[in-house]
Amino acid sequence: MKMIQIPDTDLTMSGVGFGTVNAGLKWDGDDAARMLEGYLAGGGNVIDTAHVYSDWVPGEIARSERVVGEWIHGRGHREDFILMTKGGHPRFESMTTSRLSKEEMTSDLDSSLEKLQVDYVDIYFYHRDDENRTVEELIETMEDFRRAGKIRYYACSNWSTARMKEADAYCEKMGYRGFVANQAMYNIGVKYMGTYPDATMVICDDEMLDYHRNSKNLLVPYMGIAGGFFHALQKKGKEAMKDNCFCTEGNLKIAEGLEALCREKGWCLTQALLGFIAVQDFPMVPLAAASSAAQLKDLTDTLSTEFSAADYTFLKAL
């Protein structure tokens, strides 16, 4: 996979970023070091976390950031990777209550820096949007963080295309670089997916794809392997997956095409899924998580694979 340069920044990113949603839950301590070091050794350089990751499990706040921070503190060489985290996520018990005031964002960021044991993060994301707040207010909050040296660049996650365009226009007016990245749900299965259960998560549609084709704002798809749906379908079968929102006629046909592609190329399913993103007509850096050494190998194998759009012509028949 090719390295991706974000325009008007000094950030060059590997073709897949490492999501740490499993940190502190499925791996910790020495296992965390093996996972994170293994990803870097395999050619990756983007580590993504969030202040709320693992908070859905009682007992500890910001567990993921704490685990990543312990690893960073132990290894040093902070310059070896691009560190991204996110703030402003609603409390899980009140998902419709916004937390994007400057005070709340400052609290989240300061806590993230403490947990991660760093002085700054490379890219800081709004984890959600609040359309009752102006883009001017939200951008100026991020600019204050940048001027204070707490973040190098800022970005958004789960924002609509219209709001990103508003933010771009304001940043151009003010002479700011603005958002350098956008995290939204995108994978080979979203086109045929049913209704996703979390309405606060934004799915990348044709309008958003068109925006990113002509923007300096990098698309960073989350759920790049469709939340593990195609892997689970392969192991458990259609009947076991029938209630999954990805289990639709279109995606079952995609699963057949992916299986044939893997046989032809000798790929694992992770390679075939992330390869779809790699061959799109503008650069993207999808995020993928791993919870075992085998899954990590699938991910690093993907980083060393060259993909071609010709591999995915089976999609035209759908």
Q: Which CATH class is domain 4-307?
A: alpha beta
Q: What does the block give as tokens for 248? A: 């639709």
pLDDT band at 130; cut points 50, 70, 90 = very high
CA distance 56 to 283: 32
Task: Look at strands 4-5 and 12-13 and give their pairing.
Answer: antiparallel
* Global pTM value: 0.96
Please report which confidence band the pLDDT of residue 318 belongs to, taking 50, 70 and 90 as the band edges.
confident
Q: Which residues contact 263 (CB under 8 A, 6 or more apart)?
A: none
Q: Where are the domains of the chain?
A: 4-307
**DSSP letters of 75-124?**
H--GGGSEEEEEE-PPPTT-TTS---SHHHHHHHHHHHHHHHT-S-EEEE
For residue range 186-240, list pLDDT tens digits in order.
999 999 999 999 999 999 999 999 999 999 999 999 999 999 999 999 999 999 9
**Would you place residue 261 in the very low, low, confident or very high pLDDT band (cuts 50, 70, 90)?**
very high
Is residue 96 predicted with pLDDT exceeding 90? no
pLDDT at 308 over 90: yes
What percent of the chain lies above the pLDDT cut of 90? 93
| Residue 236 exposed, middle or buried by CB count within 10 Å (0-12, 13-18, 19+) | exposed
CA 314 to CA 248: how far, in whole Å?
17
For the chain, give the mean pLDDT: 97
